[in-house]
Chain A
Amino acid sequence: MRMLSVIKKALIMQVRDYWALLLTVSAAPFFVFIYYAMTSGGSTTYSVHCYFEDPVKAGNYKEQLINNLKGVTYSNGKNTLDITLTEDTVASKQLIKDRKADVLLVIPEGFSDSLKSGTAPGFLVFGEASNPKYSIGLIFTITGIEALVKQFSGKKPLYTFREKFMGNSEAKTEFEVYVPGIFVFSIIMLILSASLIFIRDVEDRTMLRLKISRMTVFDYLLGNTLVQWAVGIISFAMTYILAIMLGFTSQGSVWLVLLVCSVTILSIIAISLILVAFCKSAGMVMILGNFPLFILMFFSGAMIPLPRNEIIAGFALNDLLPPTHAVVALNKIFTYGAGISDISYELAMLLILTLVYFACGIVLFKKSHLEAA
């Protein structure tokens, strides 16, 4: 079997290129670890500073308000808000600028009078709208204040509502919220080792050998793709296992996760092939390679959530990036325990994109390297 020889050679070369292998396989687990250390496995809390201008200690409403704010919790009983009493609004505002605090709540003079008299009490809130934690922190803060007003006025509330968090989203720790992005990142990193292994063979003029021997480009590409697929699976598995050890939970089947990842891995290999088609040397791959790497990392929603700007109905530019669909599919599996039918759209998109990228990759690769051999 020629294929076995290609696989064996690709494995040997991959292991000898151990820096690329190490970087590919260990970057994502390392990120998982850093995230874990940063969040210490807890849920997201919002830092709220409270300043009381109102000196009146009417029926110790102050303590009650604080208790109400502290009483806002997730359903697992963990606190949502981190309350600080401040005497110095200037310092608090500086903390908001530094993103070390999210909300400054100012209780003005006359607040307690209004509470007692039953007229609508007013209060003031400072925050930075571009800080995503501000708006969420504010919602929880208002929840606490509403509870206080209700207690004092004794009136029926204007409305009641209940939050129903979907899937297991509410019980998630901050760590769990971020980790799926890193799973996809672990696959994106494959662009490094895959493009390096191809370009090394280009540098070693394997294409010339292919042209004059019995071996075909198909043999060559398939064998190398299989090896890179294995590297991708290892990279993902290491990341996934470490995350689970650190408390990550998934609602869905591990096999489905592996299926999504497998297709995503293939798409990344295809993109690597396109990249290599534009490069003449390993050095060039290392420079040009940053381009697809960053595009995939930043614009697929793997690392940071993205605005979805649909050019035509149902289609946004980032839908062209395979990891975009992988992120959605994985999230559905992890959070809702989605089955294969629930992610059929994402899987189909992934498959189509993979095929298209592979077709482009093979054509470009042949054109730039095989014909020039």
Chain B
Amino acid sequence: MVVDNLSVEIREGEIFGLLGPNGAGKTTSIRMITGLLQPDSGEVMINGKRATGNDNRLNVGLCPQELVLWNNLTCREQLIFIAAMYNVRGHVAHHRADELLERMHLTEKRNRLARTLSGGMQRRLNILMALMHDPGIIILDEPEAGLDPQSRVLVREFILSLSKIKTVVFTTHNMDEAERVCDRIAIIDSGKLLVTGSPDNLKKTIGKGDVLEIMFSGNAPATSELAELSDEVKIIDSVMYFKSLAVIDKLPSIIEGLKSKDIKIKGINLRENTLEDVFISLTGKKLRD
């Protein structure tokens, strides 16, 4: 089973992030929402109606994780053609295509064949393909993958600009991105929903407080041996994560404790907690690499 017992509610006009590591089941979930895949049980409701037929799915715009472009059409041609696939034609289509190309900084490339664009430009065009029929719900599967920092900012701002006007669902395994953009997020792992909520709320309720990272060398001690030192301790590879409110006050006693256990400290890092830490608290593993 790839996705099991996943139930989320996405509100109109919000930007909703679906977070999870590779293979978590994000794409699979999206394929079910868009009707490309039938769930064995359960259903997708859009605006309170079951999304079984094609009709309310037409209000959805999908940007798949992989590039789905017509290699031998120009940027503008394919936007116009995909608009026609949704019965959007003439002035409206032309005007919208030009506007969207402008917003994604692709105006210069509008008459170039898709296959002659750089990978990042293709990804930006891929996103625009979801918007030509002006859907109320936009679903983006890893929109920021394969983009350089500049384009990432462009796409992020683009998504933010859709806020309130559209309902946006997007997947990512980039926690920073999600934190910055999303009104609410759902974290899934191995096909299971771990938690939903706003990033701030999650950070407050799960693994609250600050995070002390201690890089060490030598054999890792059992987590239970360290439990007395802080509210929450996790060891991943050669880094210990101590999580606690006002963790800085506990620093001396932690260092003392480690010394007594003959653990060599190689570096210390103190920071506010992030969604990444929420994920670590929930799964005991890191999301990145």
- Indicate if A13 sits at the interface (CB-CB under 8 A): yes
Q: Is residue B62 contacting chain A, with contact meaning CB distance below 8 A? A: yes
Q: Quick check: B62 and A212 within 8 Å, CB to CB?
A: yes
Also in contact, A213 and B85, with CB within 8 A (given A204-B68, A208-B36, A208-B64): yes
> B28-62: which have CB < 8 Å to A?
34-36, 54, 57-58, 60, 62
Q: Is the CB of B85 within 8 A of A5?
A: yes
The answer to whether A373 and B73 touch (CB under 8 A), given A209-B68, A213-B82, is: no
A113: which B residues are within 8 A, CB to CB? none
Closest to B55 in A: A214
* A215 is an interface residue with CB less than 8 A from chain B: yes
| CB–CB B73/A214 < 8 A | no
Report chain A residues within 8 Å CB of B84.
Answer: 2, 5, 215
Most B Cβ at <10 Å: residue of A9, A16, A201, A210: A9
**Count the A residues whose beta carbon is within 8 Å of the partner chain — how many?**
23
Query: Could you tell me the distance between the alpha carbons of A146 and B80 in the complex, rounded to whole angstroms?
Result: 78
B interface: dominant SS: loop
Decide if B87 touches A2 in the complex (CB within 8 Å): yes
Interface residue from A2, A12, A211, A214 paired with B36 (Cβ < 8 Å)? A211
Whether B69 contacts A2 by the Cβ 8 Å rule is no
Which residue of chain B lies nearest to A2 when distances are taken between CB atoms in the complex? B84
B86 interfacial contact with A, CB 8 Å: yes
Kindly list chain B residues whose C-beta atoms are within 8 Å of the C-beta of A13. 70, 72-73
* A214 with B87: CB separation less than 8 A: yes
Which residues of B pack against A, CB within 8 Å? 34-36, 54, 57-58, 60, 62, 64, 68-73, 77, 80-82, 84-87, 89, 113, 133
Other contacts beyond A205-B64, A212-B57, A213-B58: 15, CB < 8 A: A2-B84, A2-B85, A5-B85, A5-B89, A8-B81, A9-B81, A17-B72, A200-B71, A204-B69, A206-B70, A208-B68, A212-B34, A214-B54, A214-B85, A215-B84
A–B pairs, 22, beta carbons within 8 Å: A2-B85, A2-B87, A5-B80, A5-B84, A9-B70, A9-B77, A9-B81, A16-B72, A16-B113, A204-B68, A205-B64, A208-B36, A208-B64, A209-B68, A209-B85, A212-B34, A213-B82, A213-B86, A214-B85, A214-B86, A214-B87, A215-B84
